[in-house]
């Protein structure tokens, strides 16, 4: 009886606190989503994670290896490969006019991490590989295309809009009504998905 009473009244244990390595990875997600590879410094990531920079070096080896760890984690979280075809357009456009980046592996803005470092000579190789792995190849497979033209067209549209909105800050891509603007981009992505591999909408002949 006492054992059962104790079992019934013992509170659930608190969730384990994130490890130092997990805190570093989360801090790195935030930094690489908010800044380019060149502008991101290990000392800032260490400060965000509450550890010294030497611990970051011991855990990941270098900034390049930490960046690759972030990209590898991004590949395992919220990727195109995990969602059905009908959910891809909403997934890809949900951050399109956002000025806020995802906060970490559980809330990632994977595309923004890639965009921030596209032109960096050290990061551009891994970025190109992850863009292909995270977006273009899964899209190509889901669309059933022999080549990746439709997938690349979708990603070109999304990357172009993000760059024009966040970096060039053009008025035409800084809409007052972001819900309406997001819906327009969503429909454009859906139109590319709905078209066949020749670029023709199969509904047009109906």
Q: How many CA atoms are closer than 13 Å to the CA of 44, on its beta-carbon side? A: 13
Of 127 and 61, the structure prediction assigns the larger pLDDT to 61
Residue 177 corresponds to which tokens in the numbers above? 């009504």
Q: Which tokens go with 36?
A: 């380019």
Among 21-35, 89-103, 107-121, 165-179, the range with the most confident prediction by mean pLDDT is: 21-35
**Of 120, 148, 145, nearest to 134 (Cα)?**
148
Q: Using CB atoms within 10 A of its CB, is residue 8 exposed (0-12), middle (13-18) or buried (19+)?
A: exposed
pTM: 0.75
What does the pLDDT average to over 85-101?
Answer: 83
pLDDT at 50 (0 to 100): 97
CATH number for the region 17-201 comes to 1.10.357.10
Task: Please state, in angstroms and as integers, the Cα–Cα distance from residue 29 to each residue in 63, 73, 144, following that order.
Answer: 12, 9, 32
The answer to whether the CB of 55 falls within 8 A of the CB of 84 is no
Neighbouring residues of 155: CB distance < 8 A, sequence distance ≥ 6: 131, 135, 136, 139
Percent of the chain with pLDDT over 90: 44
Give tens-digit pLDDT for 117-134: 887 888 888 888 888 888
In this prediction, residue 69 carries a pLDDT of 92
Cα 88 to Cα 203: distance, rounded to the nearest angstrom: 20
pLDDT tens-digit readout, 139-152:
999 999 998 999 99
Greater pLDDT, 11 or 157: 157
pLDDT of residue 5: 47
Higher pLDDT, residue 126 or 32: 32
CA dist., res. 150 & res. 1, Å (int): 66
119 sits in which H/E element = none
């Amino acid at each position: 009886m006492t054992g059962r009473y104790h079992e019934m009244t013992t509170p659930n244990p608190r969730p384990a606190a994130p490890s130092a390595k997990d805190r570093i990875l989360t801090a790195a997600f935030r930094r690489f989503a908010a800044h380019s590879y060149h502008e991101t410094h290990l000392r800032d990531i260490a400060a965000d994670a509450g550890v010294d920079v030497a611990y970051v070096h011991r855990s990941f080896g270098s900034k390049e290896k930490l960046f690759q760890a972030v990209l590898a984690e991004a590949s395992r979280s919220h990727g195109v490969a995990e969602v059905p075809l009908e959910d891809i357009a909403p997934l890809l456009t949900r951050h399109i006019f956002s000025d806020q980046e995802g906060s970490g592996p559980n809330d990632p803005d994977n595309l923004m991490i890639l965009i921030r470092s596209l032109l960096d000579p050290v990061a551009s190789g891994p970025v190109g590989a992850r863009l292909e792995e995270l977006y273009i190849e899964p899209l190509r497979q889901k669309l059933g295309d022999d080549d990746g033209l439709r997938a690349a067209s979708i990603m070109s549209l999304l990357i172009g809009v993000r760059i024009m909105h966040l970096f060039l800050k053009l008025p035409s891509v800084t809409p007052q009504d972001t819900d309406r603007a997001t819906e327009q981009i969503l429909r454009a992505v859906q139109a590319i998905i709905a078209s066949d591999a020749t670029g023709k909408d199969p509904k047009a002949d109906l």
